Structure 1
Amino acid sequence: MDFKRIEVIFLIVFVCLNIFLFTSYKQNQHVETVNNDDVSQSTMILREMHEDQITIPKLATKVHSGYYLSSQPNETLKNASQKLQNQRYSFSNDRLYSRLVRPINAKNGKYTEELKEILANPRMIAFGKHYRYSKLFSTTDRIVYTQKLPEGNLYDAHGEIIFQISGKQIVSYEQTYINKVATLREKEATITEKQAVLALYSNNAIANGATIKWTTLGYSRLLDANNSSVYIPTWFIAVENKNSGNVQIKRINAFSSVLMKATDDANLSSSTSS
């Protein structure tokens, strides 16, 4: 047996093993350093928020996932509205505006209970079963329902029903609706609730002394292009101003952590009374 040859083979294996172990160690050290840097940065930002007297709830670190979605304008809602009864309605920019012939009364102010039957009736509300009541976006004078998509809730001006309250009665509503939603890419991971709030603060979008009232994740419009609208997962963050008491709803892109500009929807992205 050629012991010299065996000795050389063992030496080569030993060197290769050491190179592998050293490379793995350096990679793990790098990952650990990156993770430690992330933790340190988060800790530093949270400390700064505390110094600015910003009140925040316990923030989740769960990673969600979502899609890039798209839809195109169509006549679906306008066609369905031809079956509506007991109301006078009109359209403007694909938005239905309706005035009820008989205002809806609610016992003890429980408007959502009264609206269950209305939403289930296609002669009163077109596609009513495709919407879900949103307490977060509703106020004392309007009740907001947001459209449900297979991929998640849509919090956007293009998919909502807003019931107007006057004299303790529901007197009118406005509605938008999207359909034929297409996915543009494979499912992707989103940032966490905690990362979204920290990103909002890093963008100087939270005033000193403010309070984070709530957060929620849903789809909202990113852009309009080529006669299509693109929607992405978005963190909605409600910030209460210390001095005025008003609540302003901010949006953070759940893919990129970028602060999104205010939408044209006064109900889902503007100041409201707390």
Structure 2
Amino acid sequence: MDFKKIERIFLLAFFFLNLFLLYTYRQGMSNDSAGLTESSHLNNIEQRLQVDNIKFPAAFSNEIHDGYYLSGIKSDEGDMTNFKLDGEIFSLDSGKMQVNLNKSVVVPKSKKESLKTMKELVKQPHLVPYGGEYQYQGILSDLPHKYVFTQQYNGIPIIDETSLLTINVDKDSEFGDNSLVNSYTQSHLREIEALRESQPLITERDAVTTLYLSNKIPKDARLNNIKLGYTRIFSVRGKNVYIPAWFVWIETSKKNSQIERVNAFTNSIISTSVTEVNK
């Protein structure tokens, strides 16, 4: 047994956890503690939103989910080339891969049929590497022009640029009412694993309440979508760390859009960018 290797693994895991604790501490310090305390006394967030003429899809859920601290390594072009694809792979500056298909895929005009075609396309290993790991995310898509799929962990999607499969649809007059898929972009995580045991998360209602009390939801706005997903907080020597967060899509009265994230462990707003550690 390679004890040196095991020792390095444990040290790396310990380093990840210490980074996360530091991150959580800083996030907690940046929140308005008085506002968060008030949330415990706010019984009906729906009524408060209505008073401010804030639109929302439905009553907010009190369901409690479990989540993990996750780590994962971003796949590179070498990992992708292990698949015998019917297409060419190119590395993009963003760190994603672009695959140009040797044969275009015809997409029906019907939204129902086009979505079915996309799901079948993703499942074909000779067209999409690791396709079986991705799930369709309508909340991130823009039909009929863009279809977005993400990886997931225990049923919760990883909503991050390091785990996206984006299929863009092109129009072609030669195919009449149909459109074509000529290429797609993909980023993929391998070796996704939990860094510790699962923990209960705050509810959807908790997250919306925190955003409201922190003045992140302006009057006359609209909450278009709310989704629980994993978001990246650290990148350490090529290994990423993720936590569960509530994503809230907000549209202001001036039609400006913004996405707010609430840490589903601590009920604190995530306002910082991803921290890169190269040591």
TM-score range, shorter chain: 0.7 to 0.9
CA distance, structure 2, for counterparts of residue 53 and residue 87 of structure 1: 50
Alignment length (residue pairs) = 226
SS in 2 for 1:180: strand
Alignment of 1:209 onto 2:220? yes
Post-superposition shift, 1:201? 1.7
Alignment of 1:241 onto 2:252? yes
SS in 1 for 2:169: strand
After superposition, the C-alpha distances for 1:210-250 in whole angstroms (9 at most, x for unaligned) are: 11122121212122234421111111112222332x54332
Alignment of 1:60 onto 2:61? yes
CA distance, structure 2, for counterparts of residue 46 and residue 117 of structure 1: 40
Alignment of 1:195 onto 2:214? no
Post-superposition shift, 1:159? 1.0
Structure 2 gaps of 5+ residues are 1-36, 172-178, 275-279
Match of 2:135 among 126, 132, 137: 132
CA distance, structure 1, for counterparts of residue 240 and residue 96 of structure 2: 15
Which structure 2 residues correspond to residues 167-186 of structure 1 after superposition, within 5 A?
167=171, 168-186=179-197
* Superposition TM-score, scaled by structure 1 size: 0.73
Cα 1:132–1:63 shift into 2, 3 Å: same
RMSD (Å) for aligned C-alpha atoms:
2.6
Higher relative contact order (CA 8 A, sep 6+): 2
In structure 2, the partner of 1:19 is: none
CA distance, structure 2, for counterparts of residue 169 and residue 255 of structure 1: 42
After superposition, the C-alpha distances for 1:110-157 in whole angstroms (9 at most, x for unaligned) are: 322222332222111101111011111101321101113246321111
Match of 2:160 among 151, 156, 159: 156
Post-superposition shift, 1:71? 1.7
CA contact (8 A) 1:156 1:221 kept: yes
CA distance, structure 2, for counterparts of residue 161 and residue 103 of structure 1: 17
Which structure 2 residues correspond to residues 32-43 of structure 1 after superposition, within 5 A?
39-43=40-44
CA distance, structure 2, for counterparts of residue 161 and residue 175 of structure 1: 4
Letter in 1 for 2:130: F
CA distance, structure 2, for counterparts of residue 248 and residue 169 of structure 1: 31
Cα 1:180–1:42 shift into 2, 3 Å: same
Structure exhibiting the larger radius of gyration computed from Cα positions: 1
Alignment of 1:221 onto 2:232? yes
Match of 1:121 among 121, 124, 128: 124
In structure 1, the partner of 2:26 is: none
Work out the percentage of aligned pairs sharing the same amino acid: 24
Post-superposition shift, 1:84? 4.1
SS in 2 for 1:249: strand
